[in-house]
Amino acid sequence: MRKVIVFISLILILCNASAQQRPHYSQYLQNMSVLNPAVTGVNSGMDLRLGMRTQWQGFEGAPKTGYVSFSTPVSFGGDLATYRGADLGVTEPETKDDMFDYSASMSHHSFGALFLSDKTGPLSRITGNVTYAYHISIGETTNLSVGVGVGANRLGINGQSLVFEELGDGVVGTSSQINKYTPDLNAGLYYYGSNFYVGASMQQIIKNKIAFDGDFNVGKEVAHYFVAAGYQFWINNDFSVTPSVMLKVVNPLPKAFDLSMKFAYRNNFWIGGGYRKNDAFFGNIGFNVAKMVGVNYAYDYTTSKLRNSSSGSHELALRVLF
């Protein structure tokens, strides 16, 4: 009976062991690298990003997520000065006039790292990935990149947070923390230009069994598929609007999607919002300082049944471009 209780508790916490196992992001447009390793090294220079999300504020045991990502394009030789004076990676146009000077990056390698911490109730996940992407110049203004992320997960359960019918359970026992380590593999494609992007990625390619004990090996990780696209329309030389969509497939759940809209002034200040199917409406605001530092904030208004117990979700992101 004790192991049955543990099994049921874990399955419920894991969203029936076959549901959404990766965090939500309302600001995926500002940091696509958390979903797609092919975005590694898109921008010229070293790119450092940090984020924090508190989901379903006020709900006991609600998810809390934090991440740090870093990427940089790398040259293994060659004279960049002969390539129209451009650096590796691209720089986003600030105005419509800047688009006439935009040029694709020369083909190059990129390396990066992603560290993610996600905690829901007594369960926690820490993921560390080394990412690699190769960016191919396929036109004067377009690039195609192929990327992969390889690393490991530490899945943990806090036994002291669980309540048992009997003391001294054979699965958890008196341990305060039980950890399991599993490999992690992600891959993606990213096609982009001066005012558009189309990307596709797959997370959790390795479907690890979720087992904290030899007798508990029913739960497993499931693959997450993402397809995202956006296009920037210029209203005039300084103002633009960027509609975007992200489709998410996690079998056997119904397909889900995010629709969003971003209004920007010179790509230095922006405000926007969107809708996540069967989950929330969200709004965001952000700005850049001296083209180096970007600050973003998003708020989600929950539309699911959890709205009766939650005051919404908050997400904060910081970017530093060297």
pLDDT of residue 171: 54
Q: What is the pLDDT of residue 304?
A: 79
Confidence at residue 20, expressed as pLDDT on a 0 to 100 scale: 53
| CATH number of the domain residue 87 falls in | 2.40.160.40
Q: Walk along the chain (322 residues) and give the pLDDT tens digit of each residue.
A: 444 344 434 444 444 333 456 777 888 777 888 899 999 999 988 999 999 998 887 777 788 999 999 999 987 655 444 444 346 888 889 999 998 889 899 999 999 999 999 988 888 899 999 999 999 999 889 999 999 999 999 988 877 766 656 555 555 555 577 888 889 999 999 999 999 999 999 999 988 777 666 555 556 788 899 999 999 999 999 999 999 999 999 887 778 889 999 999 998 999 999 998 888 899 999 999 887 899 999 999 988 777 777 778 899 999 998 8
292: CB partners within 8 A, 6+ apart:
320, 321, 322
Cβ contact 108:147 at 8 Å: no
Cα–Cα distance for residue pair 220/33, rounded to 1 Å: 24
**Can you tell me the distance from the alpha carbon of 44 to that of 73, in angstroms, rounded to the nearest whole number?**
7
Domain extent at residue 255: 1-321
Would you say 1 and 9 are in contact if contact means Cβ atoms under 8 Å apart? no
Beta strands in the chain (DSSP E): 47-54, 64-74, 108-120, 123-137, 143-157, 178-192, 196-203, 224-231, 233-234, 239-249, 256-265, 269-276, 280-289, 293-302, 313-321
Exposed (0-12), middle (13-18) or buried (19+): which is 236, by Cβ within 10 Å?
exposed
- Total number of domains in the chain: 1
Alpha-carbon gap, residue 207 to 125, rounded angstroms: 15
Q: CA–CA separation, 307 vs 314, rounded Å?
A: 14
